[in-house]
Structure 1
Amino acid sequence: MADIERETMEYDVVIVGAGPAGLSASIKLKQLDDSLDVVVLEKGSEVGAHILSGAVLDPCGLDALIPDWKEKGAPITVPVKKDNFYMLGEAGHMRIPNIVMPPLMNNHGNYIVSMGNVCRWMAEQAEALGVEIFPGMACSEVVYAEDGSVKGVVAGEFGLNADGTPSDGYEPGMELHGKYVFLSEGVRGSLSKEVMVKFDLAKDSDPQKFGLGMKEIWEIDPEKHSEGTVTHTMGWPLGGNAGGGSFIYHLDNNQVYVGFVVHLNYQNPHLFPYMEFQRFKHHPMVAELLKGGKRVAYGARAISEGGWQSIPQVAFPGGALLGCSAGLVNVPRIKGNHNAMLSGIAAAEAAHEAIKAGRAGDTLEAYETSLRTGPIAKDLKRVRNVKPLWSKFGLMASLTLGGFDMWTNNLFGFSVFGTLKHGKSDAEATGLAEDHKVIDYPKPDGTLSFDRLTNVSFSMTNHEESQPAHLKLLDPSIPVNINLPKYAGPSARYCPAGVYEFVEEEGKDTRFVINFQNCVHCKTCDIKDPSQNINWATPQGGDGPNYPNM
């Protein structure tokens, strides 16, 4: 459909994604020069609709961007009052004393927040400065200049038939051009992925590593609620099957965020991350907390976990990668929102200086330098070995060796391990089904634990069913002919929304079914598929989950 004619709109900076990184960049640009034309394009139905994060927020990024955020009414009102770390066994638990944890793990001064609501508030601040924000505008293509640099994106294409042809109500969308284009799509964004390949941005970095984060919001008995309490656990139920752990954050209004993270480099293809999460809630400590309460929301999202070693080149001709598009999460702290904001600020400063100097479409080397020498680098370099130590040696070794490494980095500014490598991608880490035991998962009880489709209804996910599936198979034969016999069809388990099914009908060959309507845009399939046969792309704008206050 290259012959489609589209209207064009010209801006100084085009930003894809209204998350903390993109919104921070837009605000900083207008703070530096209110005459700059800045637009933010968001695929969700509204700002915040696709934002899912823990989240305990380190406010350093917001302090740098909007120092008077408290006076301006930011929805950041629940300071952390208490930190708990537990190692779980199947029936009991052991608390890890806070005193043995490196100072960087201390949540004093941080806040329990809904990042969806924080982003909604940040969007208000951006619009007050003159930033144009268009929700419901999925960006489906990168637009390149004649010299090969990025000059814009295609946004707002609607009305394609299931086969990809235009329907009677087809709207071609428009091209939005900028002197610079910032990609702040979150983890594994489709445009970011394309640009990384085109410019070979990851040639000098380790493979990016990922986790799958699943989260429920619960309203609990007021007598059990402890506003400001942060709890993290490791161990059961994952044990040696996978890395990961849980979080339980007590916010206001008798609500708690209950979340579970599974590292996606697990080997056993029989592992069912969603069911590990549901089983976790039956631990006596967790079950007692949730007893008498009710789940009010559910969602899931992939998390970048590669850290310092896996950050690609972040500046490219005509644009930059921001936030989780670059992979800036501090894994042991389970925090990335502050670095996302700092990256947005740094990219905005670099673009402002370039535009002021009359430049456009070149590589913002100043942003690259800032990210690799500034506060983001300081935050990520000192924890760079925790993830590879966990991957290579398991949980207990990572607690001792990783803890030791963080202490030496904190006290002396160096690591005795140097910088460890990650090795295989998460897809390559998947083992053969015949080499691993099948895991028996108890059936959800409908009170503490729930089946996937019931929980997906609590994400308010919706997709227009007449459009092309946004989950595309590079080879339609691979799921049944390769992934099913070799890996026991892992897509039926690793997806936290029940998108993928292997359907057996009497007298007929097994069919692979993609229920794309269920997709919560977590990107796990794009990451974990052992044959790398699934490509996640954006559906039409406004589709997907509609998270209220994740």
Structure 2
Amino acid sequence: MQRDSMDFDVVIVGAGPAGLAAAIRLRQLATQKSVELSVCVIEKGAEIGAHILSGAVMDPRALTELLPNWKEDGAPLNTAVSEDRLLLLSERSGYQLPNWAVPGCFHNEGNYVISLGNLCRWLGQQAEALGVEIYPGFAGAEVLFDAQGAVSGVATGDMGVLKDGQAGPNHQPGIELNASYTFFAEGCRGHLGKQIEDRYSLLAEADTQTYGIGIKELWEVRPEHHQPGLVIHTAGWPMDNSTYGGGFLYHLENNQVAVGFVVGLGYENPYLSPFEEFQRFKTHPNIGGVFAGGKRTAYGARALTAGGLQSMPRLTFPGGVLVGDDAGFLNASRIKGSHCAIKSGALAAEACFAALVAGRRRDELVEYPDAFRNSWLYDELYRARNFKPWLSKGLKLGALMAGIDQIVFRGKAPWTLRHRIPDFARLKHASLFKPIRYPKPDGSLTFDRLSSVFLSNTNHAEDQPCHLKLRDARTPVSVNLAEYDAPEQRYCPAGVYEIVSDGNNSEPRLQINAQNCVHCKTCDIKDPTQNIVWTVPEGGGGPNYPNM
């Protein structure tokens, strides 16, 4: 069946902060200059914000540049940060660093505790009011190229394909969205962004990327446990000295508290479970009391890029750009990415608009990286470039050196540390470690994976092909199980991967429960053999996060 096609000046893949900012800026410029400009945004989530998950404490600088009247126009930045605390945790106690010893990157004066999903919903309304066409429930499944090898758009995925790959009775082919320029704003480890990076060798001059997995819950707590605007970050327990990770508690409005934990995916121990470490984190005496008498209302997980400036790919290629976390625009030292994403989208939009007005089409928008290098965003990321590499060297040494880098040198030390080894290659054989005995969940403060996934509202059409592909079906047992004790059973925060046996004498096999997938992309990053490939499922599938 032949696919229908639609033509636009600009197609944007992903309705996160970067993609929506780019769309808004393009239409702002078109309106100001009285130029006809068609902009289309596609989003794989069932609605805008459905797949958005972040802490989140937001620096409003980029938003103010993009939409100066955001406060009057009702942007959901309702809770200003009222207090910062940085805690160093041991198993039984915690120590709050005095304010003078806290690097400036951890100070949040003038920032807001927000739901990034709700902000994206509001940004979507602003974009549509400016004339942007937004299509939620449509996943970008294929990159299109013209005869000269430039990106010419994307095709959305087919709907109604059965598990065996055949067209079902409700089959609808995808749509080709043709564009003069295509923006890839898929977030961390974008499925199409990976293909673009390979095709155009965008990583040739970059360090290897490094990642984290962030796991988050939203709670309604008792009023006496709630302090609107309180921001708490932690380091130390439950991580050991050699494993990068830390927790957060952010107090929003309406007695809501976001609690989460980030584990760097460069960890070595295959028995480590980021999900279980997060649950254990909540039991700490300095943490758990906040949730006494409260109710957990939402759960989710998402990978994040943390390599910083030295791991960023080339941002442009013939016919398009990478923006937001698809390109690694995250400031690890500040634990913030949404303002970086918005700024990157706006910078790319300005370069694209100038090219279109000049009559250019499907060339390389070199003005975008030039504008980035001359912006406050580049300066901010430059100052943060050594933070994650130092902390990856262990908590004590890393915290000391990161503190010197940020306090003494103010991020401008005369050296740049490198990322040389990809996260998946850092995992060591199970024979070098003992299994970690995690406590059983109590059902009130700590929980299991399946009850957590239920709160993410995750759903996929059951009779569709599995979107989690194996390059070799034998590798999960012959290598991952034999050498690493099947770490996919533990690094996945949604219970997607299980080693099962069908009978007393049957061989073990990997069972993939793709229905549970929350689209965090951790499997695509951490699988030690790089045998698992995350691809987009049918549009509209996956989590549907409220207020995350």
TM-score by length of 2: 0.98
What CA distance in whole angstroms lies between the structure 1 residues aligned with 2:485 and 2:97? 37
Deviations 1:395-440 (A, max 9, x none): 1112111111112442xx6214x11111100001111111122211
Equivalent AA in structure 1 for residue 299 of structure 2: Y
1:140 lines up with 2:141 in the alignment: yes
Offset, 1:103: 2.3
2:532 corresponds to which of 527, 531, 534: 534
1:16 lines up with 2:13 in the alignment: yes
1:82 lines up with 2:83 in the alignment: yes
Tell me the matched-pair count.
Answer: 543
Give 1:450-529 correspondences, 5 Å limit.
Answer: 450-504=447-501, 505-529=503-527
Deviations 1:162-184 (A, max 9, x none): 12221122111210011000000
What CA distance in whole angstroms lies between the structure 1 residues aligned with 2:530 and 2:377? 31
284-293 vs 485-494, which deviates more? 284-293
Whether the 8 Å CA contact 2:85–2:233 is kept in 1: the answer is yes
396-405 vs 43-52, which deviates more? 396-405
What secondary structure sits across from 1:406 in the alignment?
helix
Offset, 1:104: 3.0
Equivalent AA in structure 2 for residue 183 of structure 1: F
Whether the 8 Å CA contact 1:299–1:459 is kept in 2: the answer is yes
518-527 vs 278-287, which deviates more? 278-287
What secondary structure sits across from 1:300 in the alignment?
strand
537-546 vs 282-291, which deviates more? 282-291
1:433 lines up with 2:430 in the alignment: yes
What CA distance in whole angstroms lies between the structure 1 residues aligned with 2:323 and 2:120? 15
Aligned to 2:401: 401
Distance 1:358-1:409 versus aligned 2 partners, 3 A rule: farther
Equivalent AA in structure 2 for residue 300 of structure 1: A
TM-score by length of 1: 0.98
What CA distance in whole angstroms lies between the structure 2 residues aligned with 1:316 and 1:159? 33
Deviations 1:230-288 (A, max 9, x none): 00001001123521100100001111000100000000101011000000111111111
What secondary structure sits across from 1:285 in the alignment?
coil
What CA distance in whole angstroms lies between the structure 2 residues aligned with 1:286 and 1:66? 37
Aligned to 1:174: 175
Equivalent AA in structure 2 for residue 51 of structure 1: I
What CA distance in whole angstroms lies between the structure 2 residues aligned with 1:106 and 1:182? 33
What CA distance in whole angstroms lies between the structure 1 residues aligned with 2:284 and 2:101? 25
What secondary structure sits across from 1:284 in the alignment?
coil
Aligned to 1:346: 347
What CA distance in whole angstroms lies between the structure 2 residues aligned with 1:219 and 1:195? 42
Equivalent AA in structure 2 for residue 511 of structure 1: R
Point out where structure 1 has 5 or more consecutive residues left out of the alignment: none
Distance 1:409-1:145 versus aligned 2 partners, 3 A rule: farther
Whether the 8 Å CA contact 2:13–2:185 is kept in 1: the answer is yes
436-445 vs 301-310, which deviates more? 436-445
Aligned to 2:218: 217
Whether the 8 Å CA contact 1:149–1:362 is kept in 2: the answer is yes
Whether the 8 Å CA contact 2:103–2:406 is kept in 1: the answer is yes
What CA distance in whole angstroms lies between the structure 2 residues aligned with 1:366 and 1:398? 36
Offset, 1:224: 1.0
Offset, 1:205: 0.3
Deviations 1:467-523 (A, max 9, x none): 001000000100001100111100000000000000033110001100000000000
Deviations 1:267-319 (A, max 9, x none): 01010110000001111111111111110000000010000110000111100
Deviations 1:125-145 (A, max 9, x none): 000000000000011100011
Whether the 8 Å CA contact 1:408–1:414 is kept in 2: the answer is no
Distance 1:409-1:39 versus aligned 2 partners, 3 A rule: farther
What secondary structure sits across from 2:528 in the alignment?
coil
Whether the 8 Å CA contact 1:24–1:344 is kept in 2: the answer is yes
What secondary structure sits across from 1:527 in the alignment?
helix
RMSD of aligned alpha carbons: 1.0
Aligned to 1:442: 439
What CA distance in whole angstroms lies between the structure 1 residues aligned with 2:391 and 2:297? 33
What secondary structure sits across from 2:426 in the alignment?
coil
What CA distance in whole angstroms lies between the structure 2 residues aligned with 1:502 and 1:103? 46
Whether the 8 Å CA contact 2:242–2:394 is kept in 1: the answer is no
Give 1:16-415 correspondences, 5 Å limit.
Answer: 16-34=13-31, 35-240=36-241, 242-391=243-392, 393-410=393-410, 414-415=412-413
Whether the 8 Å CA contact 2:488–2:527 is kept in 1: the answer is yes
What secondary structure sits across from 1:444 in the alignment?
coil
What CA distance in whole angstroms lies between the structure 2 residues aligned with 1:476 and 1:162? 17
Equivalent AA in structure 2 for residue 501 of structure 1: E
Whether the 8 Å CA contact 2:390–2:399 is kept in 1: the answer is no
Whether the 8 Å CA contact 2:243–2:395 is kept in 1: the answer is no
Offset, 1:99: 1.4
Whether the 8 Å CA contact 2:105–2:333 is kept in 1: the answer is no
504-513 vs 50-59, which deviates more? 504-513
What CA distance in whole angstroms lies between the structure 1 residues aligned with 2:406 and 2:82? 23
Deviations 1:110-129 (A, max 9, x none): 00000000000000000000
What CA distance in whole angstroms lies between the structure 2 residues aligned with 1:207 and 1:403? 24
Whether the 8 Å CA contact 2:187–2:325 is kept in 1: the answer is yes
User: Structure 1 segments of 4 or more deviating over 4 A?
Assistant: none
What CA distance in whole angstroms lies between the structure 2 residues aligned with 1:382 and 1:489? 38
Whether the 8 Å CA contact 1:241–1:271 is kept in 2: the answer is no
Equivalent AA in structure 1 for residue 270 of structure 2: P
Point out where structure 2 has 5 or more consecutive residues left out of the alignment: none
Equivalent AA in structure 2 for residue 423 of structure 1: R
Deviations 1:55-89 (A, max 9, x none): 00000110110011001010111000100000001
Offset, 1:156: 4.7
What CA distance in whole angstroms lies between the structure 2 residues aligned with 1:104 and 1:241? 22
What secondary structure sits across from 1:267 in the alignment?
coil
Offset, 1:161: 1.1
Equivalent AA in structure 1 for residue 197 of structure 2: M
What secondary structure sits across from 1:109 in the alignment?
coil
Equivalent AA in structure 1 for residue 461 of structure 2: E
